A and B are shown apart, each in its own frame.
Chain A
Amino acid sequence: MRSLAKSRAWDLVARWYSIPLLLVVWQAAVGSGLVESRLLPGPERVLAALVTDLGNGALGYHAGVTLSRALAGFLLAALIGIPFAAAMARSTLVRNLFEPIFFFGYPVPKIALFPVFTYVFGIGTPSKVAFTFLECLYPIVVTCYFGFRGVETRLIWSAQNCGAGRATILRRVILPAALPSIFSGLRIALPVALIVVVITEMIGDSIGLGYYITIWSTRFTFANVYAAIVVIGICGLVLDQGMLLIRRRAVYWQREVA
Chain B
Amino acid sequence: MRVNATSLQHWIVPVLALAAWEVFGRAGLLPRYLSAPSAILLALWELMSTGELYPALAASLYRVAGGFALGTAAGVVVGLGAGLVPGVRHFFDPLVSFLYAIPKIAFLPIFLLLFGLGHASKVSIIAFSCFFPVFIASRHAVLSVNRILLWAAQNMGTPRATIFFRVVIPAAAPQLFSGVRIGLAHAFVVLFAAELIGSRAGLGNLITSAEEWVRFDEMLAGILCFAVLGFASDRILLAIRARVLRGQIIGTQEQVLR
Residues of A with Cβ closer than 8 Å to B?
14-19, 22, 39, 93, 96-101, 103-104, 106-109, 111-116, 119-120, 142, 146, 191, 194-195, 198-199, 202-203, 209-210, 213-214, 217-218, 222, 225, 228-229, 232-233, 235-237, 240
Q: How far is the CA of A235 from the CA of B101 in the complex (A)?
A: 8
CB-defined A-B contacts under 8 Å, sample of 12 = A18-B91, A22-B95, A99-B10, A104-B231, A115-B207, A116-B33, A116-B220, A199-B193, A217-B110, A225-B109, A229-B102, A236-B103
Residue-wise, chain B 211-227 has the 8 Å CB interface mask toward A (1 for contact) of 10000000110010011
CB B133 to nearest CB in A, in angstroms, measures 11
**Residue contact B102 to A39, C-beta cutoff 8 Å:** no
**Residue contact A229 to B106, C-beta cutoff 8 Å:** yes
Instruction: Specify which of B92, B105, B113, B227 is in contact with A199 (CB 8 Å cutoff).
Output: B105
Question: In the complex, which residues of chain B have a beta carbon less than 8 angstroms from the beta carbon of A98?
Answer: 13
Contact A39:B113 (CB < 8 A) given known A101-B13, A198-B103, A233-B101: yes
- Tell me the chain B residues, 95-111 only, with Cβ under 8 Å from chain A: 95, 98-99, 101-103, 105-110
Residue-wise, chain B 189-204 has the 8 Å CB interface mask toward A (1 for contact) of 1001100110000000
Question: In the complex, which residues of chain A have a beta carbon less than 8 angstroms from the beta carbon of B188?
Answer: 109, 111
Q: How far is the CA of A104 from the CA of B14 in the complex (A)?
A: 11
Question: In the complex, which residues of chain A have a beta carbon less than 8 angstroms from the beta carbon of B6?
Answer: 96
CB A46 to nearest CB in B, in angstroms, measures 12
CB A96 to nearest CB in B, in angstroms, measures 4
Q: How far is the CA of A100 from the CA of B108 in the complex (A)?
A: 34
**Residue contact A97 to B227, C-beta cutoff 8 Å:** no
CB B231 to nearest CB in A, in angstroms, measures 5
What's the dominant secondary structure at chain A's contact region?
Answer: helix
CB A108 to nearest CB in B, in angstroms, measures 5
**Residue contact B113 to A16, C-beta cutoff 8 Å:** no
CB A42 to nearest CB in B, in angstroms, measures 15
**Residue contact A18 to B92, C-beta cutoff 8 Å:** yes
B12 at the interface (CB under 8 A from A): yes
- Of A111, A119, A225, most buried by chain B (CB within 10 Å of CB) is A111
Question: In the complex, which residues of chain B have a beta carbon less than 8 angstroms from the beta carbon of A116?
Answer: 33-34, 220, 223
B162 at the interface (CB under 8 A from A): no
Which residue in chain A gives the minimum CB-CB distance to B208?
A: A115
Instruction: Specify which of A111, A225, A233 is in contact with B99 (CB 8 Å cutoff).
Output: A233
Question: In the complex, which residues of chain B have a beta carbon less than 8 angstroms from the beta carbon of A146?
Answer: 253, 256
**Residue contact A199 to B103, C-beta cutoff 8 Å:** yes
**Residue contact B14 to A232, C-beta cutoff 8 Å:** no
CB B179 to nearest CB in A, in angstroms, measures 13
**Residue contact A39 to B13, C-beta cutoff 8 Å:** no
Question: In the complex, which residues of chain A have a beta carbon less than 8 angstroms from the beta carbon of B197?
Answer: 202-203, 214
**Residue contact B227 to A109, C-beta cutoff 8 Å:** yes
Residues of B with Cβ closer than 8 Å to A?
5-6, 9-14, 31, 33-34, 90-95, 98-99, 101-103, 105-110, 112-114, 185, 188-189, 192-193, 196-197, 207-208, 211, 219-220, 223, 226-227, 230-231, 234-235, 253, 256-257
Question: In the complex, which residues of chain B have a beta carbon less than 8 angstroms from the beta carbon of A112?
Answer: 192, 207, 223, 226-227, 230
Which residue in chain A gives the minimum CB-CB distance to B227?
A: A108
Question: In the complex, which residues of chain B have a beta carbon less than 8 angstroms from the beta carbon of A214?
Answer: 109, 197
Instruction: Specify which of B90, B95, B219, B257 is in contact with A106 (CB 8 Å cutoff).
Output: B257
Q: How far is the CA of A202 from the CA of B95 in the complex (A)?
A: 25
**Residue contact A96 to B10, C-beta cutoff 8 Å:** yes
> Given A15-B90, A98-B13, A114-B192, 11 other A-B contacts at CB below 8 A?
A101-B13, A106-B257, A107-B231, A108-B231, A109-B227, A112-B227, A199-B189, A217-B110, A217-B113, A225-B106, A233-B98
Q: How far is the CA of A217 from the CA of B91 in the complex (A)?
A: 30
Question: In the complex, which residues of chain A have a beta carbon less than 8 angstroms from the beta carbon of B99?
Answer: 233
**Residue contact B230 to A233, C-beta cutoff 8 Å:** no
Which residue in chain B gives the minimum CB-CB distance to A135?
A: B189
CB B6 to nearest CB in A, in angstroms, measures 5
